Structure 1
Amino acid sequence: MPDQNKSQKQTRKQDPDLATIVRTTQGSYRVIVGRDVVDGLGLELRKTGQEGRAFLIADEVLFPGPVRRAQEALERGGYETHVLALEIGESNKNLETLEVVCSWLADRRAERGDVVVAMGGGVTGDLVGFVAATWLRGVAVVHVPTSLTAMVDSSIGGKTGVNLPQGKNLLGAFHQPKLVLQDVGHLETLPPREMAAGWAEAVKHGLILDADLLDMFERLAPQMIALEGDGPVEAIRRSVAIKGEIVSADEFETGDRRVLLNYGHTIAHAIETVSGYGEYLHGEAVAIGMMAAAGIATRLGMIDSELVERQRRVLE
């Protein structure tokens, strides 16, 4: 996609917080990454042409500060806002919670021209995205991910879903967002374990498609961990751009391109299933899965042990 990449580089010069533009059959959308960008949420949403009211559904741990800040930004953009605090985790990403959210929308008579804003980690984005995909047969959704894993992975690509007793994400839909806005400042309160899990997903993108990104992780590891300087923001932007490029090329995972994103995931999903989706964070399981996959590749003679050791050092 040389022409598309050239166009995106030119746009980045005009808008330095723009990480990528994802192009899909449901429309194109911008992914904004930077510090304090949440203050421009309403204005960025206006640029998409979105009208109506904004229904902000957020993880309750983000109340009151971050949610109030996002609400005020939406109001500055001219949106009438309604806010719902959601107690959400993998254990209640289910039909019961889905009904709670949909009933809340029904009580407020949310219409097809309105927009749903998901603010939180990957679980929040999955569930609220599925609400948007099914409410009145589909309304616009905006993702404001606040975990690193959600930023570099789940907020981009349109995957939504809820769990059933029989398995994870068995009920879901592809529903692309109108906008993805990632404020790196939201990461400052994340526990170190969650940060490490998120960086594992970003490292995966470097391993599969961007050697320069992998070099960046090796050179700037202390900055990444401490979220200091420009390194972390640039690493997230580059990781997001890789995810966006692959989604644009293989939106519904019907070709070979998007399978690259599943590096380490075969074993990771097995680990999560056996452990009951509670013992390991997703990024932790992916890191283990990537090391296992690299070990298998070495035994098959596909890669050398030096590359495996390099991967291990970066993931540590």
Structure 2
Amino acid sequence: MAAVLWSVLYAAVEVTWASAGITVPWKEHAAYAPAVQLLLAALAILAGGACLASTRALARPGRAAVATALIVALPVFVVGTNGLPIYFVTLATLSGIESATGLAQVLLNTAGTVLLLLVALSYRRRLRGDCPRCGRPHAGPSDGPLLHPAVSPASKRTRRVVYLLLCGLLPWAGVKTIWTLGGDAIGVSADDWQRTTSVGASGLSKAAASVGIDVTVLAAMVGGFLLLGLLHAWGQEFPRWTLVLSGRRVPRLLPLTPAWLTGIPLTMYGAVLIVMAPLMAVGVLPEAKPSAPFTTSSGITWMVEFGGLAFAGLGIGLVVAAHSYAARTHPVCASATATNRPAAQAQG
């Protein structure tokens, strides 16, 4: 029902913006065309209808129609979440919002992505004859108590993969740190960098810079902290330093929601930058024109590549760690274990 309500709200907002001629940016210096907004509204209604039909017994054509609608709609709204990390950084650093409608659009796309994913997962389980809630086959009710697995860290292989991905942050964070500490790198002087970034900077940004930390590097450190929680046992059970929460189970969605919502957009954004930089370097794409604080095109190209490695590395790392965390913390209905217990005893 939540997905259906979202679809109606999304369609109403898009139609209102399109009919009123309100500008809704989707990237820098580009906005959604009214025709695209109306198309998105229609797609949201289609997805909402599929969500409503997914809870009913359908013949094969109906099941195929529901699956097709969800498969078509989901990637569109996933792409629409691409600006979420950027808005998060600007909000966290009190740098101000460039576009309220742009932020609203990203949040609407994000809400739709989450709800449609949950519906698609539940629908897939239902088609397989599994419990739509826990994903296990059992004859008991699907609204009873849940049993949670014991606390466990990610496997060594998963941790090695994630730590390797985090190494993608090093060139980007290193250059930013050099500039913040007063050094020069890739043709940009510390004075030019600080002069450019100080314009409109928030108090938090200036405070972080005063101790040699770029605020975007600080945001990446927050992402790294989230990654550690996803990989280690203290991300499933609050550690002693959390005081009153110590020893309590961490709600699964508390780390998973920000991990998925930032990991997927960061991965997409970083992948685009990684591809763009070498294409710019060899002339397939137009060479970037120098703009302050950069004095050469090559400096911008290197920074684009460093940014791609950082964003994609952190994004993929979050996705991998979140997948491991979701698997290790996946609860099951108590009735599922009760159903399987007699079978196990019979085999014994």
Classify the TM-score, shorter chain: under 0.3
Structure 2 length normalisation: TM-score?
A: 0.22
TM-score by length of 1: 0.23
Name which structure has the greater RCO, CA cutoff 8 Å, separation 6+: 2
